[in-house]
Amino acid sequence: MNKRLLGALTAFCLGAMTMMPAASAAEVNVKGPGAGKKIVYIPIDNRPVNDSQTVEVAEKLGYKVLVPPKEMLGGIKDYGHPEELLKWLEENSPGAQAAVVSTDAMLYGSLVGSRKHDLTAEKIMERAEALKAFHESHKRLPLYAFGTIMRTPRGDGYSSEDPAYYQTYGRQIYAYTGLLDKEEMQGLSRQEKKQLAQLKAEIPAEYLDDWLQRRAKNYDANERFMTMAEAGVFNYFLLGCDDSAVPSQTHRESRHLEELGETLGKTRSVVTSGADELGMLMVSRAIHDNLRDVPFVYAEYAKGKGAETIPTYTNEKIGDSVEKAIAALGGIPVNDPKRADLVLLVSTNPDGKTSEANFPVNTTKFRKGTKDFVKKVNDYVQKGYPVAVADIAYGNGADNALLEGLRKDGLQFRLQGYGGWNTATNSSGFLLGAASLANKMSKEDIADLLFTRYVDDWAYQANVRQQVANMLGGWPGEGGYGKLDAKLEPAREKTAALLKDFLQRNLCFPWGLKVQEVQVDFPWNRMFECDAKVVLKDEDKR
């Protein structure tokens, strides 16, 4: 077998249990239902999951997906170029079957830009109206949009993605605005009212004003986009709550925008948790609409709290988030797996609590409920159902015990999809968008997408990431987890070596397949995101 980079790795003929060389991307794509069709897509920023990994899914169906050049997209330092993005959209839309755009990118340049910009309210609304003007001049082009309600970090240390003053006053801002949310929902006790006043006094007025005014501009723009959607400017507008909790300012704003949605009729927009899955969901909807397809999705949860679980970083029950994601991609929930195009099995802890995948507790030892859930997956697969597994017991990475169970039962490449990479809604939402399209893909392409997720979610996020993070302090030069700098190259080398070892030990590569080479990049100069390319070889055909 010739070497292949991730994205055209191996072809699994799962039914006959044989293996053959994968067809090239071009050979596969010309046979897909989207062959000869084009989608223009402006992601929220240049991170792989928002950019290349979303594009990869659509291209498996034959669609040609045009994305702006990297230098136009926002990142960790360069926040993006809204005017250039609008011009690019105008120039590349002719002949497209759909356009999918991030409103954060079109207003501020990117997700990070939405948190740190110094734009006037007038400029923001001018850019918002430019999207309406674009629709007016391209009325036959289906336009799908997605945006975010700004996050409310807990203030656990400084992030370069937030204003600098958040390093010092983040905890107070989080607590203060959380009390404002609680006050509106249920009122405050006398002690909480005193705490509210004390917190306000502790936070410098200019910092609090800056933070709240930036949020107010973002709120007004999202309100406008929801109105535009219901007026037909967008075929759909998906609004996510970036890293949120209850109570918080993000949750407070989402409540008011949901009330607006109810007033407007909420037929073309929805407010939900999440951010980095939104692009995948809207690309998926654009494809389903283009193919005149309505996927039926059956969702089932692990024993215990299940659908009632409110995961870390979210402000709603996971069952509600899943239902909204199904609606957003244009699907319909069903109560019988026999009627479903996709069976979504959601792995949650029995007590409804979530932890972090890089914590020591995340071992391969089965916890309460793990064995039953793996059996559930096996039963549905054995019956021939198209199964996707949403792995959300931990945040920011896979559940090692669950993945070990899937490995032992030979289920790794018998699934329709898998997701466990970031927040619960990031994982489940991206998974739903991708897996709802998988019944139109070859088994080879499904295997490619599964491999992408196992490399990122399991091998890197849940395991190698923390191993390398623990080594950073012993290496010479300036740098650390959030800003690698001088430690970038040794981090790349060590990560590549550990990934190669992990994949070779834990993925069931049949018939002599081995990992030959792993190439790693950290696109934002930090440990959290890893862009890995894997080359496989067949040891029996050297």
Within-domain flag for 20? no
Do 386 and 398 meet the contact criterion of CB atoms below 8 Å apart? no
- Count of Cβ atoms closer than 10 Å to residue 418 Cβ: 30
* Domains in the chain, number: 3
Judgement on whether residues 426 and 492 belong to the same structural domain of the protein: no
Within-domain flag for 472? yes
- Count of Cβ atoms closer than 10 Å to residue 125 Cβ: 16
CATH of the domain at 430: 3.40.50
Judgement on whether residues 155 and 130 belong to the same structural domain of the protein: yes
d(CA 479, CA 8): 34
Within-domain flag for 13? no
Look up the domain containing 407 and give its range: 294-440
Q: How distant is the alpha carbon of residue 501 from its chain centre? A: 26
Q: Identify the band that residue 260 occupies on the pLDDT scale cut at 50, 70 and 90.
A: very high
Judgement on whether residues 423 and 462 belong to the same structural domain of the protein: no
What is the pLDDT, as a whole number, of residue 139?
Answer: 95
- Is residue 37's pLDDT more than 50? yes
Within-domain flag for 43? yes
What is the pLDDT, as a whole number, of residue 75?
Answer: 92
Q: What is the pLDDT of residues 293-313, one digit of tens each?
A: 999 999 999 999 999 999 998
Judgement on whether residues 424 and 528 belong to the same structural domain of the protein: no
Judgement on whether residues 307 and 284 belong to the same structural domain of the protein: no
Do 165 and 155 meet the contact criterion of CB atoms below 8 Å apart? no
Judgement on whether residues 463 and 430 belong to the same structural domain of the protein: no
What is the pLDDT, as a whole number, of residue 510?
Answer: 58
pTM given for the model: 0.93
Within-domain flag for 19? no
Within-domain flag for 395? yes
Judgement on whether residues 425 and 527 belong to the same structural domain of the protein: no
Judgement on whether residues 324 and 366 belong to the same structural domain of the protein: yes
Judgement on whether residues 321 and 378 belong to the same structural domain of the protein: yes
Single out the residue in 408, 440, 472 at which a domain terminates: 440
Within-domain flag for 16? no
Percent over 70 (pLDDT), the chain:
92
Judgement on whether residues 167 and 152 belong to the same structural domain of the protein: yes
- Is residue 191's pLDDT more than 70? yes
- Is residue 403's pLDDT more than 70? yes
Within-domain flag for 28? no
Single out the residue in 229, 257, 292 at which a domain terminates: 292
Q: What is the pLDDT of residues 425-475, one digit of tens each?
A: 999 999 999 999 999 999 889 999 999 999 999 999 999 999 999 999 999
Q: What is the pLDDT of residues 326-376, one digit of tens each?
A: 999 999 999 999 999 999 999 999 999 999 999 999 999 999 999 999 999
Judgement on whether residues 420 and 538 belong to the same structural domain of the protein: no
- Is residue 267's pLDDT more than 90? no
What is the pLDDT, as a whole number, of residue 287?
Answer: 98
Q: What is the dihedral of CA 427, 429, 432, 433, to 10 degrees?
A: -120
Q: Which residues touch 456 (CB under 8 Å, ≥6 apart)?
A: 48, 49, 421, 530, 532
Judgement on whether residues 400 and 481 belong to the same structural domain of the protein: no
Q: How distant is the alpha carbon of residue 249 from its chain centre? A: 22
96 phi, psi to nearest 5 deg: -80, 150
Q: What is the pLDDT of residues 10-26, one digit of tens each?
A: 333 222 222 222 333 33
Single out the residue in 389, 410, 440 at which a domain terminates: 440
Which amino acid makes up residue 238? Answer: L
Secondary structure, 3-state, 227-269: HHHHCCCCCEEEEEECCCCCCCHHHHHHHHHHHHHHHHCCCCE
